[in-house]
């Protein structure tokens, strides 16, 4: 999650072996009184949210042997954690710019016949966002004109707190669709179970999303799906760099993510045509019901999606008639990784840890996050592993918080402090030749890309990428609902696309050195250094 300044206001623009493991502030002023009066607003946030339920769920069965028979041995273990979908590499396309992402969505909404499923943190309220809504309206109208029983269904999943902020918000943008196409449209607003009681009353609207949000970014049109870290907002369509992968005509992958969004939607508040909200019958209310009851019910519903995917793959692998017919061109494997620790689901965390743990000394990992705030576990693995790491993060001027008012305006300085601590630790351990830190620069742009590219030793192109919503930080692991995909491919053209994407981003970066932190714009005030350890888990 992140925010950016627009005039005098803050807008959020983003921004985290065995099957059993799966389930298993202040304004930048010189007056200390201003500092601490602002910090009082954050006081409720300094208490840890409820811990995740100890029990974690496990999917039944494992991935079909036929799906992983030709998979690179380095990554075959992932099929023991999550479902795996085998697809042709020619159906996977890396999009590289905000405009390409935006135009791809509009084009596919216009031609959708059965389903449009959009999951994001929020929907913006500007002209470009309205055009997106208009595309959905046109598609729904066309569907009604084609028959007495319209086939097209539109489902939108957003975060309740972020989508309800302000008089004009995501809800008001979508109400006309609900009012005109009530039988074809669903708008679900996920509310974290950790924002409840006195905390919910005390935390200002500007800060309430720091407790936890729906952060999944999935954009699905019939049997095609875009997995990204980008939100549905004008900056993400124009000058905010992110990552986007389009899986074209990959029905099993689309079915999985459609079902996942539907399951999270069932555990969410349902927007009504009169702008009220209600829960699906039989589901526990996220902040009025008992927290443990909500988490249990939501986890059960969401894990049904994972379980059923495993069962289907198991049945395919056991089928006596199974063969490789139709799979000869399927040289790419897609692993969906879900992280919802408030609900007791930590798939992505388990897979990411093992991926970093088993990275070999002759391999290279290019890892990027718009906000450099690695969890302690991830940081230990990077510093203790043998692989070579090149980590890309935002320079202060392309940070989404740059120029923000109030507490948020100090966050870029906090990231500078965190990066400097990490760099100093790399130097103390004598790891400068193995672990490199880079900063992204681009005038008038902001940086929000996240994920990694994995180069096996001796290979010129990456054969694996992680792409989606997680930032590798505390929020992504512990507070928010996240999803990404691990894509493993033997397709040389797709490997080249991934390499070009990685090089395009790093080409606009400079490598960090000790001299970087001596520059005047890297000065961090003492109060920011003191406060950062207290609030770093909230941004």
CA 319, chain centre distance (Å): 35
User: Whose CA is closest to 56, among 460, 466, 384, 340?
Assistant: 340
**3-class DSSP state of 190:** strand
String of DSSP letters for 488-504: EE--HHHHHHHHHHHHH
DSSP string, 46-75: GSPPPPPPS-----SS---HHHHTTS-GGG
Is 405 catalytic? The answer is: no
Is-catalytic flag, 217? Answer: yes
Nearest to 483 by CA among 117, 119, 32, 129: 119
Which listed residue (215, 417, 450, 536) is catalytic? 215
Alpha carbon distance 466, 354 (integer Å): 13
Spot the catalytic one: 217, 353, 438, 478.
Answer: 217
Active site residue 222: yes
Residues 6+ apart with CB under 8 A from 433: none
User: Comparing C-alpha atoms, which of 118, 147, 159, 148 is closest to residue 135?
Assistant: 118
CA distance 252 to 478: 29
Of the candidates 159, 222, 242, 348, the residue annotated as catalytic is 222
Residue 501 buriedness (CB in 10 A; 0-12 / 13-18 / 19+): buried
Closest to 539 measured CA to CA, from 340, 401, 355, 416: 401
User: Distance of CA 127 to CAs 141, 234, 431, Å?
Assistant: 21, 8, 48
Instruction: Report the alpha-carbon distance of residue 138 to residue 235 in Å, rounded.
Output: 24
By annotation, the residues acting in catalysis are: 215, 217, 222
């Amino acid at each position: 999650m992140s925010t950016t300044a627009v005039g005098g206001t803050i807008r959020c623009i983003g921004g985290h072996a065995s099957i059993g493991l799966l389930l298993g502030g202040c304004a930048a002023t010189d007056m200390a009184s201003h500092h601490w009066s602002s910090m009082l607003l954050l006081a409720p946030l300094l208490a840890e949210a409820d811990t995740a339920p100890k029990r974690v769920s496990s999917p039944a069965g494992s991935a079909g042997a036929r799906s992983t028979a030709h998979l690179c041995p380095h990554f075959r273990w992932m099929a023991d954690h999550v479902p795996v979908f085998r697809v042709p590499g020619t159906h996977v396309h890396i999009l590289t710019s905000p405009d390409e992402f935006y135009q791809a969505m509009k084009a596919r909404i216009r031609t959708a016949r059965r389903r449009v499923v959009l999951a994001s943190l929020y929907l913006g309220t500007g002209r470009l966002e309205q055009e997106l809504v208009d595309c959905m309206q046109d598609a729904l109208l066309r569907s009604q004109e084609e028959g007495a029983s319209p086939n097209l269904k539109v489902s939108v999943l957003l975060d309740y707190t972020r989508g309800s902020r302000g008089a004009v918000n995501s809800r008001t943008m979508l109400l006309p669709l609900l009012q005109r196409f009530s039988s074809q449209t669903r708008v679900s607003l996920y509310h974290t179970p950790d924002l409840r009681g006195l905390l919910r009353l005390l935390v200002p609207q500007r800060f309430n999303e720091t407790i936890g949000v729906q952060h999944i970014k999935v954009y699905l049109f019939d049997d095609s799906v875009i997995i990204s870290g980008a939100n549905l907002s004008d900056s993400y369509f124009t000058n905010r760099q992110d990552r986007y992968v389009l899986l074209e005509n990959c029905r099993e992958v689309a079915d999985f993510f459609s079902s996942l969004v539907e399951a999270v939607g069932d555990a969410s508040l349902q927007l009504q045509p009169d702008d009220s909200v209600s829960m699906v019958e039989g589901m526990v209310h996220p902040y009025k019901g008992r927290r443990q009851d909500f988490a249990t019910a939501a986890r059960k519903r969401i894990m049904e999606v994972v379980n059923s995917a495993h069962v289907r793959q198991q049945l395919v692998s056991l089928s006596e008639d199974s063969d490789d017919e139709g799979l000869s061109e399927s040289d790419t494997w897609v692993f969906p990784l879900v992280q919802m620790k408030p609900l007791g689901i930590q798939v992505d965390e388990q897979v990411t840890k093992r991926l970093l743990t088993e990275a070999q000394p002759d391999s290279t990992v290019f890892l990027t996050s718009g906000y450099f705030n690695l969890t302690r576990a991830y940081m230990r693995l990077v510093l203790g592993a043998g692989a070579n790491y090149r980590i890309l993060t935002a320079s202060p001027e392309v940070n989404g918080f740059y120029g923000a008012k109030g507490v948020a305006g100090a966050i870029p300085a906090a990231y500078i402090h965190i990066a400097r601590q990490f760099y100093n630790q790399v130097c103390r351990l004598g790891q400068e030749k193995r672990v490199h830190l880079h900063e992204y620069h681009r005038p008038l742009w902001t940086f929000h890309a996240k994920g990694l590219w994995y180069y096996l030793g001796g290979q010129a192109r990456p054969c694996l990428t992680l792409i989606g919503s997680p930032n590798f930080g505390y929020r992504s692991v512990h507070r928010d609902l996240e999803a990404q995909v691990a894509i493993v491919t033997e397709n040389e053209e797709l490997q080249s696309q991934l390499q070009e994407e990685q090089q395009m981003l790093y080409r606009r970066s400079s490598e960090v050195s000790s001299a970087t932190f001596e520059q005047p714009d890297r000065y961090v005030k003492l109060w920011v250094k003191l406060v950062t350890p207290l609030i770093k888990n909230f941004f």
